[in-house]
């Protein structure tokens, strides 16, 4: 016999039975023993279990084997329960520790990432300063002399020749020389010294010459690059007034005024220059926007290691291509990839390089190699969709490599089945198989694949008709008739179903000499599409087939 107590009183039960063992050696006698036992029970487990304990005592008194077996079972249950509690506690402790350490690791990674980014920006700025002069590096005495010369040069006007045979003729247009000297000063001292004043000299020179596109460029350059200049208010309120008064700016006046009035002061010269380029490349004035190329080149000269240099390099290449200089654009993409191989712009440069090789230089093998490199590096990039399709087109349209072409079209359709060009790829694959490789059976399988992948679409219905036509062309007339009939069977509401039935009827009549099947097809046309022209023709044919009565 096994005796069990509730788990809450398991220890108490064991102690009780131990006391029972003692009682077996000294039999219970009288009210004194009972009172002592009652007191012990109350101490160990509470009076709530007293009645249960007395029942156990009565059943088990004097049975030593039962007591020993019960103690063994009860201790086993106790220790198993305790072991489970310890295991659960250890599991919780370990899980909590893992979570804490993971959180600490993530915080450490985030902190170090921010630190690295900060150090990278600082390094970029520091390296960029190597390429340009700072206020502490130029000789102020020489700068004073150069600026004094520029002020005197600014006052010069084009002189006229005098003499007996030289009546008011111009000796030389001084403007190009003035502008060249101003630009030389900026190259030597930007962004320090009195570059703001010299930039204003350039603006005023273009205004006097009515060169409105370059005046616009110079004004915007000042607004972005010299926001803290003492001349800033004068430039914005007086020089920029030309945007309101000159007719040249009427089509993009609002854009220019907003740029002048809303451009904030950015923290450092490199950022100011970058923001100037970012805004100027969207300038609606196409004539002024052409100057972007020179500005981008200047930025890359001043800040070749800046973290924005790859982006500027990308913009420069795009503008060069837009301005009809594809070879220069190509080499600029190459420059970006060589100088900034880990930049985010590398993928775009690689893609544009392949496009130029294909579209502008007709270097189809090179373009394919470039695109394949892109797929290897950036298979999950959004640009990979178009590149996979272009790889198929290159093999198909340019290299006549039919095996590669059908493989690439299939890869595109399998990789991007929901992409709009997936059906086009499959159709072109079937056409190559039929027309270029003379493999009608494989072409039919491809058309069947279109029907199964894209059921109840116009492409699916066209694929059935194309497959039937291939069977007919290959003199597999029974298969052709069945394929035509399948269009009616699968898509009875299609506008092409009646024509498909009519084609099947013609095959049964002329090729298979099966008038019964022909009549069946014609009757389907009449009953299913009574308002169609196909039904009119089918009815006439059925009338002719009826036996003449005498």
Burial-class residue 85 by CB neighbours within 10 Å (0-12, 13-18, 19+): exposed
Residue 541's SS3 state is helix
- C-alpha to C-alpha distance for 357 and 338, rounded to whole angstroms: 18
- Kindly state the tokens that stand for 292: 């972007």
Examine residue 191 and say whether the peptide bond preceding it is cis (omega within 30 degrees of 0).
yes
pLDDT band at 87 (very low <50, low <70, confident <90, very high): confident
pLDDT in tens, 353-378: 999 999 999 999 999 999 999 999 99
Give the model's pLDDT for residue 161. Answer: 67
**Rg for the chain, CA atoms, rounded:** 46
pLDDT band at 83 (very low <50, low <70, confident <90, very high): confident
Query: What mean pLDDT is reported for the chain?
Result: 86
CA 78 to the chain's CA centroid = 60
- Kindly state the tokens that stand for 56: 């156990």
Contacts of 107 (CB under 8 A, 6+ apart): none
Q: Are 323 and 285 in contact (CB under 8 A)?
A: no
Give the model's pLDDT for residue 15. Answer: 56
Q: Are 13 and 2 in contact (CB under 8 A)?
A: no
Residue 323's Cβ-side half-sphere holds a number of Cα atoms within 13 Å equal to: 19
Short-list 511, 41, 106, 527, CA closest to 542: 527
Apex 289 CA angle, 287 and 293, nearest 5: 120
What does the pLDDT average to over 279-295? 96
Q: Across the strands, what pairs with 160?
A: 170
pLDDT band at 465 (very low <50, low <70, confident <90, very high): very high
pLDDT band at 25 (very low <50, low <70, confident <90, very high): very low
Q: What is the 3-state secondary structure (H, E, C) of 397-446?
A: HHCCCHHHHHHHHHHHHHHCCCCCHHHHHHHHHHHHHHHHCCCHHHHHHH
pLDDT in tens, 480-536: 999 999 999 999 999 999 999 999 999 999 999 999 999 999 999 999 999 999 999
Residue 536 phi, psi (nearest 5): -60, -45
Q: Are 333 and 317 in contact (CB under 8 A)?
A: yes
- C-alpha to C-alpha distance for 208 and 210, rounded to whole angstroms: 5
Give the model's pLDDT for residue 50. Answer: 56
Give the model's pLDDT for residue 331. Answer: 98
Per-domain residue ranges of the chain: 7-103
Distances (CA, A) of 426 to 104, 429, 430: 52, 5, 6
Distances (CA, A) of 108 to 36, 112, 119: 65, 6, 16
Distances (CA, A) of 237 to 223, 242, 510: 11, 10, 89
What does the pLDDT average to over 433-449? 97
Lowest-pLDDT range of 15-29, 83-97, 420-434: 15-29
Contacts of 7 (CB under 8 A, 6+ apart): 77, 81
pLDDT in tens, 184-243: 999 999 999 999 999 999 999 999 999 999 999 999 999 999 999 999 999 999 999 999
Contacts of 157 (CB under 8 A, 6+ apart): 174
Give the model's pLDDT for residue 134. Answer: 46
- C-alpha to C-alpha distance for 222 and 197, rounded to whole angstroms: 9
Q: Angle between the 175-189 and 195-208 helix axes, to the nearest 10 degrees? A: 160
Does residue 312 register a pLDDT over 90?
A: yes
Burial-class residue 20 by CB neighbours within 10 Å (0-12, 13-18, 19+): buried
Q: Are 312 and 296 in contact (CB under 8 A)?
A: yes
Does residue 135 register a pLDDT over 60?
A: no
What does the pLDDT average to over 71-87? 75
Give the model's pLDDT for residue 6. Answer: 47
Apex 105 CA angle, 101 and 109, nearest 5: 175
- Kindly state the tokens that stand for 151: 């002020």
């Amino acid at each position: 016999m096994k005796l069990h107590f509730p788990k809450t009183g398991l220890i108490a039960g064991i102690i009780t039975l131990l006391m029972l063992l003692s009682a077996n050696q000294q039999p219970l006698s009288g009210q004194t023993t009972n009172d002592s036992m009652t007191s012990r029970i109350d101490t160990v487990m509470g009076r709530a279990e007293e009645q249960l304990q007395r029942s156990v005592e009565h059943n088990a008194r004097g049975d030593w084997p039962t007591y020993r077996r019960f103690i063994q079972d009860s201790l086993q249950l106790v220790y198993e329960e305790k072991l489970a509690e310890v295991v659960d506690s250890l599991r919780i402790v370990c899980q909590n520790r893992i979570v804490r350490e993971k959180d600490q690791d993530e915080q450490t990674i985030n902190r170090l990432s921010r630190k690295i980014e900060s150090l990278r920006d600082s390094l970029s700025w520091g390296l960029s300063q190597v390429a340009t002069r700072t206020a502490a590096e130029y000789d102020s005495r020489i700068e004073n002399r150069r600026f004094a010369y520029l002020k005197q040069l600014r006052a010069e006007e084009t002189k006229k020749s005098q003499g007996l045979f030289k009546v008011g003729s111009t000796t030389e247009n001084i403007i190009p020389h003035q502008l060249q000297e101003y630009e030389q000063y900026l190259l030597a001292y930007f962004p320090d010294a009195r570059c703001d004043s010299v930039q204003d000299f350039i603006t005023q020179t273009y205004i006097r010459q009515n060169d409105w596109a370059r005046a616009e460029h110079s004004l915007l350059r000042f607004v972005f690059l010299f926001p803290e200049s003492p001349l800033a208010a004068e430039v914005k309120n007086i020089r920029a007034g030309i945007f309101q008064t000159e007719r040249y700016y009427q089509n993009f006046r609002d854009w220019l005024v907003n740029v002048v009035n809303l451009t904030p002061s950015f923290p450092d010269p490199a950022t100011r220059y970058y923001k100037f380029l970012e805004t100027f490349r969207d300038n609606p004035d196409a004539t002024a926007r052409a100057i972007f190329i020179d500005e981008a080149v200047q930025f890359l000269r001043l800040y070749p290691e800046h973290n924005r240099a790859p982006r500027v390099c990308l913009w420069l290449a795009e503008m060069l291509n837009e301005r009809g200089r594809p070879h220069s654009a190509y080499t600029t993409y190459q420059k970006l990839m060589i100088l900034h191989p880990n930049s985010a712009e590398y993928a775009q440069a690689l893609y544009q390089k392949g496009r130029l090789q294909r579209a502008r230089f007709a270097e189809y093998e090179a373009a394919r190699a470039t695109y394949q490199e892109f797929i290897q590096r950036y298979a999950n990039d959004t640009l990979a969709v178009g590149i996979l399709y272009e790889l198929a087109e290159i093999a198909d349209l340019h290299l006549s490599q039919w095996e590669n072409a059908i493989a690439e079209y299939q890869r595109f359709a399998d990789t991007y089945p929901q992409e709009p060009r997936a059906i086009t790829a499959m159709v072109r694959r079937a056409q190559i198989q039929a027309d270029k490789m003379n493999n009608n059976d494989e072409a039919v399988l491809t058309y069947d694949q279109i029907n199964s992948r894209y059921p109840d679409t116009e492409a699916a219905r066209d694929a059935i008709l194309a497959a039937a036509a291939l069977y007919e062309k290959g003199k597999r007339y029974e298969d052709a008739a069945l394929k035509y009939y399948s269009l009616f069977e699968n898509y009875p509401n299609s506008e092409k179903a009646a024509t498909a039935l009519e084609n099947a009827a013609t095959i049964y009549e002329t090729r298979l000499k099966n008038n019964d099947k022909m009549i069946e097809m014609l009757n389907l046309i009449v009953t299913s599409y009574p308002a169609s022209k196909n039904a009119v023709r089918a009815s006439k044919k059925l009338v002719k087939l009826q036996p003449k009565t005498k």
